[in-house]
Amino acid sequence: MKRLLTTASFMLAGSILTLAQSLPQVHLDADGLKPRSIEELTGASIASNYALAWRDLEAALESSQAGGIGDEFVGTAKDRLVQRITEQKRTGVHVRIADRGHQVKAVFYSSDGTAMQLTDQAQLEIQILDGNKLLDTENVTHHYIVLMTPGADRWYVRDLEEVPTNVF
Amino acid sequence: MKASTPCYSLCKDGTRLAWSCLLAICVLAAQANAADLRVPAIVDADRAFSISLDGAGEATFYLIGPDHVVKRTVTLGGALQIQSSDVRAVGRYQVIVCGSSCSSATFDVRATQPAHISFFLHPSRVPVSTPGSIDATAFVFDQNFNLVLIPSTVAFQVHPTNGTSFTRQGSTRLGVTWIRMDSTTKEGRVQVTAALRNVQEARVIQQVASEACGLHIKALPNGDSVTLETDPVRDCSGNALPDGTVVSFTKVDHAGKSTVDTPIKKGIARVRLSVHGSAQISVACGVVLGNEVTVNGKL
């Protein structure tokens, strides 16, 4: 029998996955999620796929190579990220992110299970470089609204929008 | 705006006298090349605006956004026009201007007016008169498919083929709203339209008859067999159960118990059974039990 969790908390630490030495830490809070509650396996899958998405995003922004993006991103999020990476490559600009972890809260899970909206408070140290020249460094909390949708074997990031601090 | 990097490397090896001179040169050079950035805190997506670049001389301008990177040489001391196409995606943008040193600033781009609704209606088929059985979910986006975070009211207009139309409203939070509705009492097509200002998106679901209600059979004996036939099978709202719905007839006689499943055809289910002596025959459809009849066949 599936275990329904009304108060759920899922933790995914980089150290517990052998395949991901640099996997960011994602803490998912699904307390009070509506209109559908989250199941344990779904919560674990969301946290895992979101961590993988950030790992791939960070690698792509640093290398300006979009190769791994399609494994975790679809739709608008993928289109925008690919466009950004293409323009990074053209201009020589690239971004290095030191990921200090994500406090993720699930805020909406559709009744048919086809969409989940999350908010993310991410501790990121971001360096912007032009070639080897460091242009800027910042170390602040970033806030994101995320839409994830399920695929055949994973949850994909469909929309990833950074928002001002006061939005949630 | 962040502080500029000091023009230190040029001056650090000087003597006291030379240091003063070089310091003055550095200050002048900094005034000539460091950009004083003034950017708005928030701008609307897909709208052109300008950034004020104080200072003098040439510098390299960078604009880094969610889906866009701009790098070009600019002349300091005026306003720099940012094209609408540079800020189509919502999110946080970083402006960096590098002359002898780099200055940076950030601004947020927010969504504009709602222009698209992504609308889900679940499930596609639903029994009539079932409380909380229909979920409608709407995500609201602007013309560039940015999620509109400013709360807005979406009207869910429900148009049953058989019945009175009605409207329910939901207010978005973080760009999404959902409502849960009861199915109405009559079977048939139901169109639900999510509407926000002049934006509309329609979906259709099918309401089907619910469980059978008042299931009743009659027996027509014929020698050592009996033909059993239901009355027209309907739910409690009077909707006919669809053809193909299975009705189960169970016979218990001295030979034992046997069950025959038969689909509804043209509104009724009919089956012919052989009976040996006295037999009790009952009928069921889904979770609903009907009446029971007793027949007496020849041995």
Say if residue B187's pLDDT is above 50: yes
Say if residue B129's pLDDT is above 70: yes
Residue numbers of A between 110 and 129 with CB closer than 8 Å to B: 110-112, 114-115, 117, 119, 128
Say if residue B20's pLDDT is above 80: no
* Mean pLDDT on B75-91: 94
Selected for mutation to probe chain A from B147, B174, B177 (highest A CB count within 10 Å) is: B174
Residues of A in contact with B133 (CB under 8 A): none
Q: Do A164 and B108 touch (CB under 8 A)?
A: yes
With vertex at residue A63, the alpha carbon angle to CA A59 and CA A64, rounded to the nearest 5 degrees, is 105
Of B86, B94, B2, B31, nearest in space to A129 by CA: B94
Q: pTM, whole model, 2 decimals?
A: 0.81
pLDDT at res. B47? 96
Fold of B116-208: Immunoglobulin-like (2.60.40)
Check if the beta carbon of residue B192 is closer than 8 Å to that of residue B183. Answer: no
pLDDT at res. B225? 86
Check if the beta carbon of residue A108 is closer than 8 Å to that of residue B179. Answer: no
Q: Rounded distance, CA B148 to CA B154, Å? A: 12
pLDDT at res. B276? 79
Q: Do B104 and A135 touch (CB under 8 A)?
A: yes
Closest-CA distance, B102 to chain A, in angstroms, reads 7
Say if residue A111's pLDDT is above 50: yes
Q: Do B70 and A92 touch (CB under 8 A)?
A: no
- Please name the member of B122, B146, B173 whose beta carbon is closest to the beta carbon of A161: B146
pLDDT at res. A11? 58
Please tell me the CATH code under which domain B217-296 is placed: 2.60.40.10
Mind listing the pLDDT tens digit for each residue in B84-122?
A: 999 999 999 999 999 888 999 999 999 999 999 999 999
Say if residue A42's pLDDT is above 80: yes
Interface confidence (ipTM) of the complex: 0.88
Q: Do B91 and A161 touch (CB under 8 A)?
A: yes
Please tell me the CATH code under which domain B16-110 is placed: 2.60.40.10
- What is the pLDDT confidence band of residue B157, given thresholds at 50, 70 and 90? very high
Q: Which residue has the higher pLDDT, B54 or B189?
A: B189
Cβ-based burial of B165 (10 A; exposed 0-12, middle 13-18, buried ≥19): exposed
* 8-state DSSP, B2: P
Q: Do A84 and B67 touch (CB under 8 A)?
A: yes
pLDDT at res. B28? 39
* Mean pLDDT on B20-48: 65
Q: Rounded distance, CA A27 to CA B166, Å? A: 42
Long-range contacts (CB closer than 8 Å, 24 or more residues apart) made by B166-175: B168/B136, B170/B136, B170/B138, B172/B138, B172/B140, B172/B148, B173/A107, B174/A107, B174/A108, B174/A117, B174/A119, B174/A145, B174/A167, B174/A168, B174/B147, B174/B149, B175/A117, B175/A145, B175/B139, B175/B140, B175/B141, B175/B147, B175/B148, B175/B149
Mind listing the pLDDT tens digit for each residue in B231-250?
A: 999 999 999 999 999 999 99
- Please name the member of A84, A107, A136 whose beta carbon is closest to the beta carbon of B66: A84
For chain A, say whether B92 makes contact (Cβ under 8 Å).
Answer: yes
Q: Lowest mean pLDDT: which of A117-121, B14-18, B253-257?
A: B14-18
Q: Do B64 and A95 touch (CB under 8 A)?
A: yes
For chain B, say whether A137 makes contact (Cβ under 8 Å).
Answer: no
Tokens 């001389």, residue located: B57
- What is the pLDDT confidence band of residue B297, given thresholds at 50, 70 and 90? low
With vertex at residue A35, the alpha carbon angle to CA A32 and CA A36, rounded to the nearest 5 degrees, is 80
Q: Is the peptide bond before A35 cis (omega within 30 degrees of 0)?
A: yes
pLDDT at res. A167? 83
**Cβ count within 10 A of residue B125:** 8
Sequence letter at residue A87: E
Helix boundaries (H) for chain B: 16-33
Of B277, B174, B180, nearest in space to A36 by CA: B180
Of B130, B241, B235, nearest in space to B190 by CA: B130
pLDDT at res. B5? 38
CATH architecture of residue range(s) A4-14+23-167: Roll (3.10)
For chain B, say whether A48 makes contact (Cβ under 8 Å).
Answer: no
Mind listing the pLDDT tens digit for each residue in A5-41?
A: 444 456 554 434 434 457 999 999 999 898 999 999 9
Domain boundaries, chain B: 16-110, 116-208, 217-296
pLDDT at res. A10? 61
**For residue B216, what are the contacts with CB-CB under 8 A and spacing of at least 6?**
B230, B231, B283, B290, B291
